[in-house]
Amino acid sequence: MQTQLRTRIGFVGLGAMGAPLAGRLLYRNKVFGTNRTKSKAGPLIAEGLIWRDTPREVAAAAEVMFSMVADDAALAAVTAGPDGILAGLRPGALYIDMSTVSPGASRKLADRVCSAGATMIDAPVSGGISAAENGTLAVMVGGTEAGYRAAEPLLLRLGSTVTHVGGNGQGLLLDLAINIGVAAQLLAFKEGVLLAERGGIDPALAARAIGSIPPVPYGRSPGLGVVDPDERARAARPEPFDVALVHKDIRLALATARESGVTLTVASAIDSALSQAEGAGHGQSDIARLYKGMATA
């Protein structure tokens, strides 16, 4: 299928990440949408988003369908049943799921979409809320070449890089691999700052020093640029690295690794650290603010 400028788009999941993505798609497109909490869609409705009460109604109105939800259970909730996306998906439609879920669950859903006469790709993202707002996300795509080519013009409105990784589920697999590295570097950064502070060094100075080190040959996560032990500097910022969501991604990576017979030593250590953070009440905190919890542990 060809993606036209005036494509009728559906978007399910208008939360912290979904809302800015749907907002970018409103330009030059008619966008239908729904969300578990309608009030969160208020600004988008004011900008022209056409509200529908169920995912089925959104899918029935759309040529290209998007979803962005939290996890496997949420994806099943919006796709299955009489009011789900699958019940309304048009034959010939393109379905782009941008959620970070398990590759296996995504592949099973892609098979069901195919049986309905439509095409599905997984297109998880890396970059956080500000990148979603600015259209500078990195998008990893799993699915057929034809599905990728059909989605590419729209995905390039959402991300500065769009990479076709392989078949269904492969975009998610790469996203989980990336998230291990991001989480590891963020937590290691915080441990370094904590060690310095406990030895009498100003933590803000330590953070600047560690953050200013040039990338080593194998790279450094851009996520380090958002870490600041001085919470006042980030008080008005959104929280793009929710501890519970990062932990969900790490657990997905570990589960996927077990299926492949792979041992992930670093991811297991991250899982333990984030379990401790959630147990201490930091599950809804920005992982870039976890320093405070570590410093007072």
Q: Tell me the average pLDDT across 110-115.
A: 98
- For residue range 85-104, list pLDDT tens digits in order: 999 999 999 999 999 999 99
Q: The domain containing residue 230 runs over which residues?
A: 173-295
Shared-domain flag, residues 261 and 161 = no
- Predicted TM-score of the model (pTM): 0.88
Shared-domain flag, residues 92 and 184 = no
Shared-domain flag, residues 46 and 144 = yes
CATH code for the domain in which residue 36 is found: 3.40.50.720
Instruction: Specify if 149 maps to a domain.
Output: yes
Shared-domain flag, residues 86 and 148 = yes
Instruction: Specify if 3 maps to a domain.
Output: no
b/e burial code for range 112-136 (CB count within 10 A of at least 16 → b): ebeebebbbbbbbbbbbbebbbeee
Distance of CA 265 to the CA centre of its chain: 23
**Domain limit, last residue, from 146, 167, 188:** 167
**Domain limit, last residue, from 144, 167, 190:** 167
- For residue range 229-269, list pLDDT tens digits in order: 554 344 334 445 688 989 999 999 999 999 999 999 999 99
C-alpha distance from residue 263 to each of 183, 258, 260, 290 (Å): 17, 7, 9, 26
Shared-domain flag, residues 102 and 233 = no
Token duo for residue 79 = 């796709």
pLDDT reported for residue 190 = 85
Shared-domain flag, residues 84 and 210 = no
Alpha carbon distance 173, 256 (integer Å): 8
CATH code for the domain in which residue 267 is found: 1.10.1040.10
